[in-house]
Structure 1
Amino acid sequence: MVRSWDNTPNGTMRAITLTSPRATPPTACFTYRTDYPKPSLPNPHFCLVRIYAIGLNRAELRARNAEPVSPVEFGIFKEEFQDECPQVLGEEFVGEVVEAGSNTEFKLGDRVAGWAYGGGKAYDGSYAEFTICHQRRLWKLGEAAKDVPWAVLGAIPMGLWTAYGALFLAAETKPRDVVFVHGATSSVGLWAILVAKDQGCYVIATTRQESKVKKLKDAGADWVVLDSELQNPQMIQQIAATEVQTVLELVGLEALENISMPVTKAGGTVVKCGILGKVWKMSLSAGLVTAKRKLTTFTTLDEDYDYASRVLQDAVKKVKSGKYNKENFLDSTYNLEDVGLAHQRMEDCAACGKVVLLVQ
C-alpha cells in the first residue's frame, strides 16, 4: 500500500530510534544515530523542517512501550491507519522550514511549530534533526518567535493549545469564571493557569507534591490544594462552594466521580483531556453525569487550524513581552541524545511544566 507520507530518503541525519520497546530504564529503549535516513517531501502538501527543539508528551511514554494505538490518533491520516510503530517517536517540534511544498503557504526560513499525534505514529516523529510535516499540522510562529530561544518555543505548542482549547472552546469558559485544574503541574496544567488568569479567571490548582505549590502560585494560581486534601469530603465541599464553572481534569478517568464532578457547579463543565494517572479506561456509574453538568473531552485533534494559529502566535508574543514567564511553563532541557533521561524525569513525575529536547 502506498501511503500519502511515503518518500525517498535524501541524505542522512541525526535521530533517536526506538530499538528496545518496554526496556528498563528508559535509556535502554533508545539508540542515538547519526546516519538515519533524512526524509524528502512526499507530495506538495508537506514541508521539510529542520528541528531545533522538541516538547515531550506523556503519550510518548506509552509509545515507548509500543502499546496499541487507535485510528483516531492518526488525525488527518486515519484512513491510512497502520498498527506498526515508527522507529522515531516524538509528536511535536519547533524549527525552521528548509523546503516547502508548492501547495503550502510556507517559505524557506519560516519559524514553525508542528505536531503529529501520539508520537508520530503515522510516520517518523520529531526525535530527529529533520522531519516532514503536512501543512495542516504546521503553524507559523510569527515574527516575535525570532526573539524567543528555541528551548522556550519548544515548551509552548501542544501544552498551550490543549489548555486553551479545553477551557475556551470545549468548556466555553468566560472571563472571571472559577476554573479548577486537577493535575496542574503538567505542561497543560501550567498553561491552563496562565491562559485562564490572562482571561481574568479565578484559578484553583492541585498537585500531589508540596514542593510544587510555589511553582503553581508563581504561575498565577489563586488557591493551591494538595491532592491528599482532596480525600477529605469537607475540602471537596469547600471547593464546590466557590462555584466552579470549569474543571480541567488532567489526572484521569479515576478522578471524575470523586473529585471533578462533585466540585463542579450546576451548569458547569468538566473537560477530561489528561491521563497523568495512567488509567486508560474504566466503567463510570450511570449517575455520574447529570443534566446539570457537562462532561466533554478536548485533544489536539479538535483544532480549528486558523484559530490555533492565532492562539499560538499570540502566546509567543506574550512570552517575548514577559507576560508569560518561561519559568512558569518550561521545566528542563536535555540534548537529543539524552532522551532516555528526559523520559525518566517524566516517568518519575519530577517535572513541573514541559520537558524539552534540544537538537543543536
Structure 2
Amino acid sequence: MRALVLSHPRSSPPGACFTYQTDYPKPSLPNSDFVLVRIHAIGLNRAELRARNAEPVSPVEYGISKNEYYPGLPCPPIIGEKFVGEITECGENAAARAFKIGDRVAGWMYGGGKAYDGSYAEYTICHYRRCWKLPEAAKDVEWEVLGAMPMGLWTAYGAIFLAGEKKARVGMWGVLAAKDKGCTVIASTRQKSKVQKLKDAGADYVLQESELTPERIRQIAPNGVKTVLELVGLEAIESVAMPATARGGTVVKCGILGRQWQRMVGAWLCIATRKLMTFTTLEEDYEEAGKVLADAVEKVRSGVYKEHFLDSVFDLSDVGKAHQRMEDCAATEKVVLRVP
C-alpha cells in the first residue's frame, strides 16, 4: 500500500522527514476490536508536528491505548491520528457494535501513530471505540471536506457544551458550533489575514493578538465572558483567559498551538469563582460524539455550515508542503491530505 514512512525524524525541511512508499505492508487487525479502513482523506493535527520530530509523548496521549505506552523513540514508522474512509475488514467485536464492511467512517485519537501505525497511509486500523459511522448525507460531501471535520468539530463542541457549558472565545469549529446554538462569539487570531474568514464563519467579534487583552474583552462583555475555549497555550490562561472570564464562568483548556506543554501551576493561576477545566478526546468514550458528527455532516451537506473549516488540500505525497503550512501558522483551519 501507499504510505508515508517517518524515516528521518527531525530533518529539514519537513518533507525530508518522510519517505513515500508504494509497497508498505497493509496492516492486519491486532484483535477483534479493530476495523481496517481504506483511507480517503486525512485531517492533519498539530500534534503531528511533534511526532514528525520524534518528540516524546505522555501516557495520556495514548488515550485508550495507554496500556501499550512506551517511552522510547522513535515513533512508529507511520504517524497520523485521524482519517475518513471505508471499512474493508471488520473484527468480530467491532461487528457486534454494528460496524460492517463498506461503512463510511471517521476515526480520531485512537492511538494511531503511537501504539500502532497511524493514518498517513492508504489503509489503517482503528479500534471500534474511536471509530464513528458517517451518516447517509456523507455520500454527498467530498472526502476532503469530511476529512477536515471530525476531531476539530468534536473538540470544539465538547469543550464548549460539555466542559464549558455554553459560550466561548473560540477557534473556527468553535465559531460554527457556538453560532449554531445561538451564542455570541468573540474569536481571536494572531494574523490579520484570518480576520475576515472568522467573521465570514459567524464570529461576532474578532480580536487580533495586539487587542487580545482582558480589558478589551471586557469592553465587549463588561461582566466577562461565560466560557473561554483556550486553544493557544498554557501561557495564555493566566494572562488573558482567567481575567476575561465572568464570575462563575469557565476556562476550558484543550489545545497547545503555542507548543508549550508544561507550566508550573500555583495559586496565582486561579481566580476565585472561576473554573479551570480541560477537555480531551483521548480516553473517555463519548456516545454523543457520533451524533454531533452526523448532525454536522448533514449541516455541511445542506449548506448550514459553510466550508470555513477546510483550509487546504494536498496529495499524500506532498506531506512536506502540508506540514510546512502548519509549521508557518499559515493555515486558517484544517489542512487535509487526500488519498485517492
Whether TM exceeds 0.5 here: the answer is yes
Partner of 2:66: 78
Instruction: Report percent identity of matched pairs.
Output: 69
- Alignment RMSD, CA only? 1.4
Residue 32 (structure 2) aligned to one of 35, 44, 48:
44
CA contact (8 A) 1:89 1:126 kept: yes
Q: Which amino acid aligns with 1:132?
A: I
Q: Which amino acid aligns with 1:329?
A: F
- Structure 1 unaligned spans of 5+: 1-12, 182-188
Q: Which amino acid aligns with 1:99?
A: E
Residue 180 (structure 1) aligned to one of 148, 155, 169:
169
Partner of 1:95: 85
CA contact (8 A) 1:272 1:296 kept: yes
Please give the secondary structure, in 2, of the residue aligned with 1:35.
coil
Partner of 2:157: 164
CA contact (8 A) 2:9 2:17 kept: yes
1:334 aligns with 2:314: yes
Please give the secondary structure, in 1, of the residue aligned with 2:2.
strand
Partner of 1:313: 294
Please give the secondary structure, in 2, of the residue aligned with 1:191.
helix
1:216 aligns with 2:198: yes
Partner of 2:176: 194
Partner of 2:49: 61
CA contact (8 A) 1:236 1:259 kept: no
CA contact (8 A) 2:79 2:112 kept: yes
Aligned residue pairs: how many?
335
Deviation track 1:244-273 (CA, whole Å, cap 9, x = no partner) reads: 000000110111111001110000000011
Task: Tell me the distance in 1 between the aligned counterparts of 2:66 and 2:255.
Answer: 22
Task: Tell me the distance in 2 between the aligned counterparts of 1:301 and 1:201.
Answer: 27
Please give the secondary structure, in 1, of the residue aligned with 2:282.
helix
1:29 aligns with 2:17: yes
Partner of 1:129: 122
Measured after TM superposition, the shift of residue 237 of structure 1 is 3.6
Measured after TM superposition, the shift of residue 116 of structure 1 is 3.3
Task: Tell me the distance in 2 between the aligned counterparts of 1:122 and 1:237.
Answer: 45
Partner of 1:5: none
Please give the secondary structure, in 1, of the residue aligned with 2:250.
strand
Task: Tell me the distance in 2 between the aligned counterparts of 1:118 and 1:276.
Answer: 20
Partner of 2:140: 147
Task: Tell me the distance in 1 between the aligned counterparts of 2:309 and 2:296.
Answer: 12
Measured after TM superposition, the shift of residue 235 of structure 1 is 1.7
Task: Tell me the distance in 2 between the aligned counterparts of 1:121 and 1:131.
Answer: 13
Measured after TM superposition, the shift of residue 100 of structure 1 is 1.0
Please give the secondary structure, in 1, of the residue aligned with 2:19.
strand
Q: Which amino acid aligns with 1:283?
A: M
Task: Tell me the distance in 2 between the aligned counterparts of 1:117 and 1:299.
Answer: 12
